[in-house]
Structure 1
Amino acid sequence: MISSIIIICIFGFLSAAVDAISGGGGLISLPALLLVGIPPHLALGINKFASSMGSFNSSLTFARSGKVNFQLVKWLVPFTFLGASLGVWSVLRISPDFLNKIVPILVIFVGIYTLINKNLGIENRFNGYKTSSLLLGIVFAFSLGFYDGFFGPGTGSFLIFAFISVYGFDFVSASANSKVLNFTSNLASLILFAWNGKILYQYGIPMAIAMIIGSQVGTRLAITRGARLVKPIFLTMSFLVSLKLMIW
C-alpha cells in the first residue's frame, strides 16, 4: 500500500502541475490510479477528490495574482455547477461510450486551430463583455460543465480555448479563469462520488496533498513564464488527450 501511495503521489504532483498550466492532468493521474490496481469506479472517485483539491489551490493562486476576472466568472460558475450536476446524473443512466468517437476530433480541431493561429492567446485582448458574449459564455460554461460531469477528458483544453476565442484572453488569463470553472465542475462531481461512497480516503488524501503542491508549482510557472510557456504545453496536452481517447 505504501508503494502504491508513493506512485500515485508522484504522478499526482506531475498531473496537477501540468493541469494548472494547460489542462489535461487527468491523462496522468487517472492511469496512475489504475496502474496500482484500484478499480475504475473507485479510481474515478479518488481522482475527482484529489484533483478538486488541486484545482481549488490553482484557482486561489491565480485569483491572488489578479488573473481571475470575477466580474465575468461570477455569471458562469452557477451554470457550470448546474451543468456538471446534470452531467453526473446523466452518466449514471446513459453510457458515455459514444463520446469516445466525437471528443478526439474536437480536441484535435482545438489543437490544430491553435497551432495555425500563431498569435492566438499570446496577448490579452479582453476589453470587457457584452450581453451577447456573456450569453455565449453561459452556454459554454453550462455545456462544458455537463461534459465534465458526464465524461471529462479534455475539459480543461476546451475551457481555455473558449475563454480565448470568446473573450480574447491570453493563455495565462484563460487558464486562470478556466480553473475556477473546472474546480466548480469538479466540486459538483465530487459531492456525488462522496455521497455514493466511491472515495478511498487513504489514497485520496495523500494524493490530494501531492496535487496541491503540484498545482502550486504549475500555477507559479504559468504566471511567471506567461503565454509562451502555456501555449506549447496546451498544444502538447491537447494532442495527447486526443491520442489517449483514440486508443481507449
Structure 2
Amino acid sequence: MPDWTVLLYGLPLAFLAGFIDAVAGGGGTITLPTLFFMGLPPAQAVATNKLLAIFGSGSATLQYGRAGHIEWPLILRLIPLALVGSALGAYLVHFVDPNVFKNLVAVVILGVGVLVIVNKKFGLEDRYPGLTGKVLALTLPGTLVVGLYDGFIGPGTGTFLMFLFTLSGFNLIRSSGNAKAINFATNVGAFIFFLLGGKMIFWIGLPMGAANALGAYVGARLAMLRGSAFIKVIYALIVLLVSARLLIH
C-alpha cells in the first residue's frame, strides 16, 4: 500500500484531469494510470477512480446546469440507457478480449478526431431541433452503446458522448454539459457497485476527488467563457490522447 507522499503528484494530476474532463472528456486517461503508478492493484485503482470521478463529473454538471447548458428533457430519457449499457459492458468484459476492442475503438475515435478537425463548423453552432424522432433515433441507441463502452473499458466515454450530442445538433458547450450529466449518472451507478465490493481506497480517492472537482469547476467555467471554438481545440487534443491510451497496452 502506498504512503501519503503519492498525493504530492496525485493531487495536481487529479486537478488537471478534472479540468480536461470538464472541457472535452477524457480525464480518466490521466487519473487511472496515476492510480496504477501509485501501486494500487487493478481492482482498487478502478474502484478508487470511480470515487474521485464522482466529484469531478458532479462539479462540472453543476456548473453547466446552472448556466442552462444541459438539455434535461433529453438527458433524463438517456440516463437509464447509459446505466443499462454500463452494467452490460461490465458483464461482457469477462467474455470478450479487451485488447481487440481497444484497437477498434482507437481507430474509430481517431476517425472522429479527423472529422472534427476537417469540418471547420463542426460543433460551433447550436442547431438542436428539440426532441424530434430523428434526435431520439440517434441518441437512444447511441447512449446505450457508449454506456456499454464505459462499463467495458471506460477511457474517453465523455469524448464519445460529446461527439454523439454534437451530431444531434448541439454546439460543443452544450454537448459538454450534456456529456457531463450522463457521465455523472454512470459514475454514481459504478460507485455504488464498487462501494459494495469494498475496494475503494478512501484516503486517496477523497482528496484526489476534491482536486478533481476543483479542476472541473475551473475547466467548465473557462469552457463557457471561451466558447465552442476553445473546446474544439482541446477536444481534438483529447481525441489523440485517448487514442494513444487505448493503443498502448
- Residue matched to 2:118: 116
Indicate the residue corresponding to 1:139 in structure 2. 141
Q: In structure 2, what residue type is equivalent to 1:206?
A: P
Name the CA distance, whole Å, in 1 between partners of 2:190 and 2:96.
16
Match of 1:26 among 20, 25, 28: 28
Q: Which moved more, 1:105-114 or 1:134-143?
A: 134-143
Aligned residues: 247
Where does residue 241 of structure 1 map in the other structure?
A: 242
Which stretch of the first structure deviates more once superposed, 89-98 or 115-124? 89-98
Amino acid at match of 1:199: M
Q: What RMSD, in angstroms, separates the aligned Cα atoms of the two structures?
A: 1.3
Q: Distance between the aligned counterparts of 2:144 and 2:110, measured in 1?
A: 22
Q: How far apart, CA to CA, are the structure 1 residues paired with 2:53 and 2:197?
A: 18
TM-superposed CA distance for 1:242, in Å, is 0.6
Q: Kindly provide the CA deviation profile for residues 86-140 of structure 1, in whole angstroms up to 9, marking residues without a partner as x.
A: 2223324544232121111011010001111011001111121312321321111
Give deviations 1:151-198, integer Å, cap 9, x for gaps: 112211111011011x21111110000111111222222221111112
Structure 1 unmatched ranges of 5 or more: none
Name the CA distance, whole Å, in 2 between partners of 1:21 and 1:201.
Answer: 26
Aligned counterparts of 1:26 and 1:229: Cα–Cα separation in 2: 21
Q: CA deviation at 1:2?
A: 2.1
Identity score, percent: 35
* Amino acid in the other structure paired with 2:88: L
Counterpart-to-counterpart distance in 1, 2:183 and 2:57? 7
Tell me how far apart the structure 2 counterparts of residues 64 and 114 of structure 1 sit (CA, whole Å).
27
Which stretch shifts more, 113-122 or 130-139?
Answer: 130-139
Structure 1 length-normalised TM:
0.95
The one-letter amino acid paired with 2:4 is: I
Give me the whole-angstrom Cα distance separating, in 1, the residues matched to 2:149 and 2:127: 28
Structure 2 residues not aligned, in runs of 5+: none
Which residue type is aligned with residue 185 of structure 1? T
- 1:6 shift after superposition: 2.4
Are residues 1:63 and 2:65 paired?
yes
Q: Which moved more, 1:131-140 or 1:218-227?
A: 131-140
Please name the residue that 2:229 is paired with. 228
Matched ranges for 1:71-220 at <5 A: 71-92=73-94, 94-165=96-167, 167-220=168-221
Partner Cα distance (1:10, 1:62) in 2: 23
The runs of at least 4 aligned residues of structure 1 exceeding 3 Å deviation read: 92-95
